[in-house]
Amino acid sequence: MVHILGSTRADHGGTSRSVPALCDALDRQGVNVHLVTAAPADADEGELPILPEGDVQVHLIEEQGGLQRTFRSPLAFYRRLNALVKHIEPDVIHDHGAWLPSNVAAAWMARRADVPLVVAPRGMVTEWSLAHRAWKKRAAWHLYQKHVFREAALFHATAPCEIGDLRALGMTQPVAVVPNGVELPDALPDSPSADTKRVLFLSRLHPVKGLPMMLDIWADLRPDGWTLELVGPSEDGHRDELEKQATDLGLNGEVVFSGPVDGNGKWRKYAAADLFVLPSHSENFGIVVAEALAAGVPALTTTGTPWQEVETHDCGWWVKPEREAIAKALHAATEMESEKRTAMGRRGQRFIESTYTWGAVGKKMKKTYEWLTGQNRTPDHVEVSV
């Protein structure tokens, strides 16, 4: 199998982590996996690619002066894919993302080699995403993205809500719902003692995450004895905007900006948290919700994410991505007795451990490939017809 992703840079969001992890999970299932991705030749720490750790064969497209030239043209990806496909003759090409020239290269190559193309939109065609920089996406849709999608033999959705997004675009192909998994450390850090309770946001700082709304809510509620910590890399200068907003609202000291963290640092942040928040307008999966629950932290997130299960398993709050709804849930969470929040976190931990392991995800994706290539019956997680 060949997996294609425009970038696995650490500062490019959850897909940079979940796709290499999926490749590793497939490798552990005995699938021969190749990953084609791009990385700048002279990368600083935030630009370093996240790569699989097992026997997955990685093919890096290095670009002098950063990724810009790779993103301007699909030719670099196409040349690498052409050589690779001729050499290994893969059964499936699995492309991730949308709106990138790498997606065009994947579709070209699949058609030329007569190989089934699996397309994973990765949350890039949700209603919110299509409205963000809408004129550029309308142009890209008619120029190339619509044609890329039409080449797909199968779509890979990480949550059921993505099926509706694809159908709304007129796509009638089968869709396999295979979620992301959670890679737990061997041992979770101990919870440190602290003078204040902590609400944690851990993701990239981007307008889709709903953080301006979150700061307004925090300024209205000002929960006594609580601190809001925002952890993650800034995208397009959004952290500067948020810091200015926090200052204007008089939240200095109540809201802490901690910047990006590595894998070990991430789990230490979860261990120090009493509540996790992801107030996103739109998410295709929201792996950080699963990670927080796995660490025993109750989660407050929105219906813009596919995490209704936090409500059904009573391990958090799942509300509309609107100011009033989030404020009400945040007030309930911060006023709740500590013992009840801890019990919610334990329920979440049990739920994630039983459902969202990478081993289970790898098995599910392998079955999907076997069905696509005529080796198996239709799995229950594949919707064949509209």
Q: Which residues pair with 36 in a beta bridge?
A: 4, 59
Q: What is the radius of gyration, based on Cα positions, of the chain? A: 21
Superfamily of domain 2-181+358-383: Glycogen Phosphorylase B; (3.40.50.2000)
CATH 3.40.50.2000 spans which residues of the chain? 2-181+358-383, 197-355
Mean pLDDT of 293-309: 95
Secondary structure letter of residue 14 according to DSSP: T
Secondary structure letter of residue 172 according to DSSP: -
| Of 6-10, 72-76, 176-180, 235-239, minimum mean pLDDT range | 72-76
pLDDT higher at 219 or 54: 219
pLDDT of 70 higher than 60:
no
What is the pTM for the complete model shown? 0.74
Give the pLDDT confidence of 249-265 residue by residue, as tens digits.
Answer: 999 989 999 999 988 89
Confidence of residue 64 (pLDDT cuts 50, 70, 90): low
Give the pLDDT confidence of 33-57 residue by residue, as tens digits.
Answer: 999 998 776 656 556 788 898 899 9
Assign domain 197-355 to a CATH class: alpha beta
Q: Which long-range contacts (CB under 8 A, 24 or more apart) does 11-14 make?
A: 11/46, 11/47, 11/204, 11/233, 11/235, 11/260, 12/204, 13/203, 13/204, 13/206, 14/180, 14/203, 14/285, 14/286, 14/287, 14/288
CA distance linking residue 379 with residue 386, whole number of Å: 16
CA distance linking residue 359 with residue 1, whole number of Å: 18
CA distance linking residue 90 with residue 112, whole number of Å: 13
Confidence of residue 67 (pLDDT cuts 50, 70, 90): very low
Q: Tokens representing 323?
A: 């100011």
CA distance linking residue 26 with residue 338, whole number of Å: 40
What percentage of the chain reaches a pLDDT higher than 70? 94
